[in-house]
Structure 1
Amino acid sequence: MSDSKKRYYRKNIELFVLLNKMKLWPSRNGVLHGIKNIELHGEYATITTHCGKTFQVYNSRNSRAARWLRNKWAEKPCTDCRVPEWKLEKYSKTFFDSHYGSDLIHKG
């Protein structure tokens, strides 16, 4: 089942809301990891990837991870996470605009 429509989100949204929606994490060496679990702890979150890595991140709109997701600088998927092809296709058809798209408001 191929969903070929483009998705537009606001450019300056919170990192945790973006991560909860996309379930992808860009590592510093350009690899996209699939997110298995996100535990929120105030302004910090503990992220567990499908390949078993666990780390803490700060909720910043201008962080490296937020910029890399918006600009699509991470290109290759992690072989251990086995990110599905449909998720990569959905990510490639996602665009960020400062004046158009969903705000992805956090409910909870």
Structure 2
Amino acid sequence: MADNKKRYYRKNIELFVLLNKMKLWPSRNGVLHGIKEIQLQGKYATVTTHCGKTFQIYNSRNSRAARWLRNKWAVRPCKECAVPEWKLEKYSKTFFDSHYGSDLLHK
């Protein structure tokens, strides 16, 4: 998957839509986990990572996770999740802009 094109998304999109698209979760210590499953439950969701961690999150556009994904503050991938190199490369070529890009609407 040698796709070198840049992707642009709207900056202020909902966290659940962003997670469903990217399938990546930034932990508080700077590790980028691969998401295995997201179960939506109203304004909350239960996220299961590939390394077996399960936690509940709130759908917020300004949350720590949303900011970390937009600003790319997670520094390394999780070794247990084994996030593929193509996914990390695709994430590195993703940009967020307030006036340009896809809205990533619910489908």
TM-score scaled by length of structure 1: 0.98
Query: Hey, what's the Cα distance between the residues in 2 that align with 1:36 and 1:85?
Result: 16
Size of the alignment, in residue pairs?
107
**How far 1:87 sits from its partner (Å)?**
0.1
CA RMSD of aligned residues (A): 0.4
Answering whether residue 20 of structure 2 is matched by residue 34 of structure 1, we say no
Written as runs of structure 1 = structure 2, the 5 A alignment for 1:2-17 is 2-17=2-17
Supply the AA of the counterpart residue of 2:43: E
Gap runs ≥5 in structure 1: none
Q: Which SS does the other structure have where 1:45 is aligned?
A: strand
Give 5+ residue unaligned stretches, structure 2. none
- Percent identity, aligned pairs only, is 87
Give the alignment's TM-score, normalised by structure 2.
Answer: 0.99
1:92 equivalenced with 2:92 (yes/no): yes
Compute the displacement of 1:43 (Å): 0.2
**Structure 1 residue matching 2:88: 3-state secondary structure:** helix
Following the alignment from structure 1 to structure 2, what is the Cα–Cα distance between the partners of residues 15 and 105?
Answer: 12
**What is aligned with 1:62?**
62
